[in-house]
Amino acid sequence: MNATGTRGELLVAEKLIKLGFHVSIPLDETQFDLICTLKEKSHRIQVKCTGGIEKAKRPNSNPRYNFNLSRGNSRKISYTHADCDFIICLAMDSSRYWIIPVEEIDIKILKIPANGSSKYCKYEYRWDLIS
C-alpha cells in the first residue's frame, strides 16, 4: 500500500471510531482494508483516498476529486461485492467522505466535482448506510 493509502485508511478508521463503530483490521491480505461493526452489523470497507482537488484540464470545467476505484497492477479490475461491501472515498485536503455501496460503482475512476453534481454526490457523509 502506498503512503497516501495508508494514511487514508487510518483516517477512515479514526473517523469510524469517533462515530462509535468498532473497527478491525484484517489479518491476511484481503481486498478490503477494514471491518466496521455497529450493533452486531458488520461491513467490509475498502478505502480510497486522494490528496486533494485536481484542476480540470478543460476550461469551464469544475475542479474535481479523482479516485482510482480499481485494483491490480497490469489489468485493472473493478471491485465487486465479493471483495467488499462499501468503498469509502476520502478527500484528505478537506476531510470530505463519500460512503458508496460497492454495487453502485460501475466505473474504474471516480470523478467527483468539488462544487457540482454527479451521480455519486448523494453519498457524501452517508454514514447511515453502514450503521
Partner 1 sequence: MIASMLLLTGCATPKLSNADKLIKRHPKGFADAVRASTESAEFVRDTLKTLADVEAMVEKGD
Side-chain half-sphere CA neighbours of 109 within 13 A: 5
The SS3 call for residue 43 is: strand
Least separation in angstroms between residue 1's CB and partner 1 is 8
d(CA 126, CA 20): 15
Question: Is there binding between residue 35 and partner 1 (CB under 8 A)?
Answer: yes
Site for partner 1 in 96-115 (CB under 8 A): none
- Joined together, the cell numbers standing for residue 82 give 465479493
- Binding mask 4-23 toward partner 1 (x if CB under 8 A, else -) reads --xx-xxx-xx--xx---xx
d(CA 98, CA 122): 8
Least separation in angstroms between residue 99's CB and partner 1 is 18
Question: Is there binding between residue 72 and partner 1 (CB under 8 A)?
Answer: no
Neighbours of 117 (CB within 10 A): 10
Question: Is there binding between residue 38 and partner 1 (CB under 8 A)?
Answer: no
The SS3 call for residue 7 is: helix
Residues near partner 1 (CB under 8 A), total = 25
Site residues (vs partner 1, CB under 8 A): 1, 3, 6-7, 9-11, 13-14, 17-18, 22-28, 30, 35, 37, 40-42, 44
